[in-house]
Structure formats: structure tokens, C-alpha cells
Amino acid sequence: MTPPPGLGTWTARRARNSPERVALVHGPDRTTYADLDDRVRRLAAGLRGLGVGPGDRVAYLGPNHPSFVETLFATTGLGAVFVPLNTRLAAAEIAFALRDTSPRVVVTLDGSNASLLASGDSDDAFPSLEVGGSYEQLIADSAPADLVDADPDALAVLMFTSGTTGRPKAACLTHANLTWNALNVVVDVDLRSDEVCLLSAPLFHAAALGMTCLPVLLKGGTLVLEAAFDVDRTLDLVEREGVTIMFGVPTMFATIARSPRFADADLSSVRYLLCGGAPVPPALLDVYASRGPAFLQGYGMTEAAPGVLLLDAAHARSKVGTAGRPHFFSDVALADGGEILVRGPNVVAGYWERPEETAAAFSDAGWFRSGDVATRDDDGFHRIVDRVKDLYISGGENVSPAEVEGELTGHPEVVDAAVVGVPDDRWGEVGHAWVVLADGATSTPADLVGWLDGRLARFKTPRTVEVVDALPRNPTGKLDKPALRRSLGQ
């Protein structure tokens, strides 16, 4: 079988087949596929002039914007590697990601982010292009370049994912990984070429990029890009643009349903609500069922680009609470103990410069270990029941307790710390921390929360902090997280 072409050729192929269609909508701006391809080619030429070549990294720091899509395709069209950065991270976390990937250039959408581009050493900063300034000038000054059709197995995107080691690691997504995942979505979600997708969930996450952005562009649909989620803006755009698909987390759709405008809003164009990050509550399913749009829920991970399981609309009610069946080109098995194992052309080969963690992530037979535990019913539907890893999900964002614990124990008066996720009506889960203070310490829980400000993203900061005399540990010294959860009634 001939492998799929590289991502860098996509805009040229779309401009060849549907040049007049609108690819991107952002505010009043509308970009056709012909215009998108022209800008991508010019940006690629400009990046090449700045020294970007095959294998080099180009990072992007900013909210959803056409420049994100342009930089992605221009970078991969040079055989280089795109590195989307999470704008919700603290400056120190962004600095770590930059040092870890050493990008040749950083594209930033907001000039105020310039201070975040320092690598941590005052003598070492990464060159940047500012959208609206030097970025636009580079495009204007460059002639369209010919783009390369990269090897499908070549690295295309480095996307950071939370880990259990206390530091995030970048999953190595190849051109083939991202293309096969997009094909999974096209097949299983049954995307049409006239889809209009409203995307306010951040593109620096694998879910928004892999489950909507790339599949919609592959089919020749339209992406309506929003920098942030806003209820009134969402309802306005649904009516004005004839939105057919929206992607988000359950809290976003619950917020829309609570709007006083919801009852009279025109949702007739909306076919699907793609939802990830946490199961959709049955009550929310009922609210939307009466309005027409169908929920498509799923389970995935950055390492699978990201689709693994999909609960289709036909079974949204009869299999409520499950994460569905495997995507068409993906395979799922349950190991002893029920851990989900994943294999397929959408699954990464490993992590960026993390050989030990890469080796630990795969079974001897080559299956990726998800770290999540599930059951499977007789019809093949999977229900996520626990996490082998301690990650919890807050507002659709993965949080690594080990990372938070590491920052807490960096406080001069903290000698030990533990963090778990606890249920929250608004965010799904939030952090609860236990800390052991040094003798004579005077820090309060509020002081410790303040210590984390600027060191961690807000969604990672524990909502509650409890000072205790000691933390439960097993005979090997490992934290006894089950005992801590039991103390909370979990």
C-alpha cells in the first residue's frame, strides 16, 4: 500500500481541488483554500530564509488563529517539526518546553508573550516572529516556495503531554500518525465536504487539532476559529455561519445550555457535538436531545493523535457512560487488570529524547500502554473505570499530580506533599493537596497557593490545600494514594 502524503502537501492539494471554498473564518476575515496555500508557501519560503530546514523545530505560542494553521502547514511543508505551546502554562513551564525542543523560530500571536520566550538563561533567547508584525512582513516579502512531500514516518509535530514523572514530555507525532487519525475521524464521524466547524477549544491540544481541525481541512470544510470560548459569541456564530459541528468539553456545552438564549437559539444547522475530556452527564444528553444536535463522545490521548475510542450518536443513550468502540484504523486490547492497550498507524513511536519513558510506554508486543483501566461489554463498548496513572482532568486539561507535588515541595517550608483530583461540578475535577510543613513553619494554605502562582498554570493549582502531620506511605516509601482518596470519601 502506498503511504499517505505528508501534511505539507495538504494545502496545495486542497487549492488544486477546491480553491474557491472557504477554509478559515476568523472574525470578519475569510480565507479560501487558494489563499491559504499561497500564504503557507510564502511563509515556508520566509522560514527557510531564517534557516529552518528538515528536522528543525518551529514553535507556536498563541490562541486559535489562522496563523496557527499556516505555521503548521508551512513548517511541515519544509520537512520541519511544528511545536504548539500551551498558552495556559506558566512562564517557567513554557521555558522548559522551549529548552526541551530548541526551536529555530517561535511564532507568537501576542506581543506580551515575548517575555515568555526566554529559555531561562538571560543570554539564551529564541528568535520570534510576531503575528501582525514581523510575521506578516515575512509573508509579504517572500515568494511562494515549493513544499516537500515528507516521508510519512518523519516527525511532523511535537505535542507536549502531561506525565507521571513530574515533567511534561513531547509525543512524536509523524505525518502518518496525524493523517491516519484524520482518516479515522472522516470514516467514523462521517464528515462531509461542506462541514462548518466552530472551534474555540485550543488547537495546541491534540483533541482540537486531531479530531476537528485536520479532518475538516482534509475534507475541504470550513473552520471557524475562535481565540476563546464565549457563550453568546458561540450562539451568534452558530446562526451566522451555519455551524454544523462543534468541538468542546462537557463544561462548555453545559454552559451553553444554561444560557438564557439557549431555548430560542437556532441550532438547526448543527449535526454533531464532538465532546472529549470527560463523559457527558445523562442530564446534559437529555437537554440537547430535544434540540436536535447529537453528541459524539470519545476517549483518546496525545500519543494516539488522539483518537482511540468513539461512542457514536446511535448508541449515545443506550451505551451512556461508555467511551465507545475503537476507531476504524485503531486496535484496542485490555491487558491483565484491564489496562487499555492501543495499537495502530495513528499511535506514536515514542517521546522526544525520552528513551527510557518510551520503552516503558510499550508492551513487549508493541502495544502502547494507556495507563487507564477499562471494562468491555459483550457489544465491544469500553467503559473507563480507573487510571493507572494519577493524572486527573480539570476543565479538559490533563494535570500531573507529580508535577504539582514537585512544585509544592520546592517551597522552603514544605517537606512533603501529595495531590489527587477530586470531583467538581464546574471543572469535572480539581486538585486537593496535602502538605507536611517543616518544624516551626508558619505558612498557611493560602500562602502555598500563592507560591504556585506563576510557577504552574492556574488549572494545575490545587483548589484546596490541607496541612497534615504526615502522609501515608507503603513499605517501599511510595505515597499511598488510595488511602488519601479514602480519607476524602472517594
pLDDT along the chain (490 residues), means of 10: 81 97 98 98 98 97 97 98 92 91 93 52 69 95 94 96 70 98 96 97 94 98 97 97 94 90 96 85 85 92 97 90 95 93 97 96 96 93 80 86 86 91 92 93 94 93 94 70 86
What's residue 5's pLDDT? Answer: 80
Same domain for 400 and 351: no
Residue with cell 451568534: 236
What's residue 18's pLDDT? Answer: 97
Q: Is 449 among the domain residues? A: yes
Q: Is 259 among the domain residues? A: yes
Residue 197 corresponds to which amino acid?
C
Same domain for 433 and 347: no
To which H or E segment does residue 93 belong?
helix 91-101
C-alpha cell at 335: 491487558
Q: Is 236 among the domain residues? A: yes
Same domain for 199 and 71: yes
Same domain for 185 and 73: yes
What's residue 479's pLDDT? Answer: 78
Q: Is 2 among the domain residues? A: no
Q: Is 258 among the domain residues? A: yes
Same domain for 467 and 320: no
Domain count of the fold of the chain = 2
Q: Is 78 among the domain residues? A: yes
Q: Is 141 among the domain residues? A: yes
What's residue 117's pLDDT? Answer: 56
Please report the DSSP string for 415-436 in residue order: EEEEEEEEEETTTEEEEEEEEE
Structural domain containing residue 226: 7-376
Same domain for 417 and 356: no
What's residue 19's pLDDT? Answer: 98
Same domain for 356 and 440: no
Of the candidates 205, 200, 204, 248, the one whose C-alpha atom is nearest the C-alpha of residue 224 is 200
Same domain for 349 and 242: yes
C-alpha cell at 73: 502547514
C-alpha cell at 204: 495546541
Q: Is 386 among the domain residues? A: no
Q: Are 393 and 428 in contact (CB under 8 A)?
A: yes
C-alpha cell at 371: 495507563
CA–CA gap between residue 155 and residue 126 (Å, rounded): 21
Same domain for 371 and 307: yes
Indicate which CATH number applies to the domain containing 446: 3.30.300.30
Q: Give 277's DSSP letter.
A: S
- The pTM of the full predicted model, rounded to 2 decimals, is 0.85
Query: Of 376, 411, 439, which marks where a domain is finished?
Result: 376
**Cα 193 from chain centroid (whole Å):** 24
Please list the residues that pair with 29 across neighbouring strands. Answer: 26
Same domain for 301 and 405: no
Cis peptide before 462 (omega within 30 of 0): no
Same domain for 436 and 365: no
Query: Of 350, 376, 402, which marks where a domain is finished?
Result: 376
CA–CA gap between residue 220 and residue 374 (Å, rounded): 36
382 burial (CB, 10 Å; 0-12 / 13-18 / 19+) is buried
Query: Of 324, 350, 376, which marks where a domain is finished?
Result: 376
Same domain for 261 and 178: yes
Indicate which CATH number applies to the domain containing 279: 3.40.50.12780
